[in-house]
Amino acid sequence: MSQLKILSVDGGGTRGIIPATILHRIYEEKGKHPTEIFGLMAGTSTGGILCTGYAFGISTEDMLDLYFSKSSEIFYDSGWDDIRDGFGKNLGADYSNKRFKRILEDIFKDSTLKDIRDKSRDERGRLMVCSFDLNPEETDPATNKIRPINFRPRIYHSDFNRDQDVSLVDLCLMTSAGPTYFPIYKDHIDGGVSLNNPAMAALAYAINSQDDGVKEYRHPDGNKKGLGKDMRDVQIFSLGCGTSNQNYIPAGEIMKRSNGDWGNLQWVKYLPDMLTETNMQASDYYVNQLLRSDQYKRIQLYFDLPEAPELIRGKTLGLDVKREDLLEAMMNYANNVFDKQRDAIYDFLNI
């Protein structure tokens, strides 16, 4: 069976400049666009936008430039909006998505996932994007009526028959509607709340050979839920968006605060990071258990290491970094890490 190379890109807001830099370096040095390397590209939030852009055929240079040229426009907030929202995120999202939507419309026009499916030839360029559905429904088998069910992850895919009419603009807004950052979009929020690292979701799709039964999915050899690959024929190149590595509760802090008897006020500070960090680490754990070291390579940058540029060393960088010097520092850090791992990356990707 032919080998499947998977690109997996985490969520992380403008810290997505890190994976964008690494993928651009590969193109600069080897002339290989992600669609020429990977049979499946899976992304969440900023990673979903990157993978959608690549699958659509946008150059690695242009996707990298988006972070420099459009971040201030994407994360734009007016004083009036702050007042209306209760000074920040108290009563409304920190940013409007109107400018963001116009940027996406300029890029993708009215293209849909069907356009991606039509482009993905010769086992290359499939697209998977993770979002989260706040109002999912299912057909009750007993009554044959539609009923609401618990909210859950929603994975969109260029292979799925059900998703062919989904516009790429809507797809990008649904995967990146981070709670408190952007408004809910079409009953969806950022996929990072459950699948910030989409590597495990991509692996599950790659090896799934179950019959679909209702022709909701698409497979070259029939109607299956996945590609039916042997796990030994799968490789995953997983790119993180950098971390402060400070998402923990300091030693002694728990007992100092009411002997660990915590309620809403104590937990609220930690829950947002806990939500994304735990699902990211869980995905990494599962994939590490299932794949050999020569099948799985993850690159993550840590801002608390001595090798991090001084400007960002020890810093906690939000999802909405707009300052050009900070963006450049992250790009430089990604370039330095790439230089150190260049041979290992090319050996892993066999290019």
Instruction: Give the tens place of pLDDT for each residue, 200-223.
Output: 999 999 999 888 777 777 655 567
Asked if residue 239 lies in contact with residue 348, where contact means CB atoms within 8 angstroms, the answer is: no
Q: How far apart are CA 276 and CA 195, in angstroms?
A: 8
For residue 180, what are its two tokens?
């408190």
User: Which stretches in the chain have pLDDT values below 50?
Assistant: none
Q: How far apart are CA 48 and CA 198, in angstroms?
A: 9
- Helix/strand/coil (H/E/C) assignment for every residue in 143-210: CCCEEECCCEEEEEECCCHHHCCCEHHHHHHHHCCCCCCCCCECCEEECHHHHCCCHHHHHHHHHCCC
DSSP 225: S
Question: Tell me, what's the pLDDT at 78?
Answer: 67
3-state secondary structure of 345: helix
Neighbours of 349 (CB within 10 A): 17
Residues in Cβ contact with 297 at an 8 Å cutoff, skipping those fewer than 6 apart: 236, 237, 238, 344, 345, 348
- Helix/strand/coil (H/E/C) assignment for every residue in 25-38: HHHHHHCCCHHHHC
Question: Tell me, what's the pLDDT at 240?
Answer: 97
Question: Tell me, what's the pLDDT at 89?
Answer: 60
**In this predicted model, what pLDDT tens digit does every residue of 66-100 receive, in sequence order?**
999 999 999 987 665 655 555 556 678 899 999 99
What is the residue type of 12? G
Question: Tell me, what's the pLDDT at 84?
Answer: 58
For residue 3, what are its two tokens?
């080998």
Mean pLDDT over each residue of the chain, to the nearest integer = 91
pTM of the model: 0.93
Question: Tell me, what's the pLDDT at 346?
Answer: 98
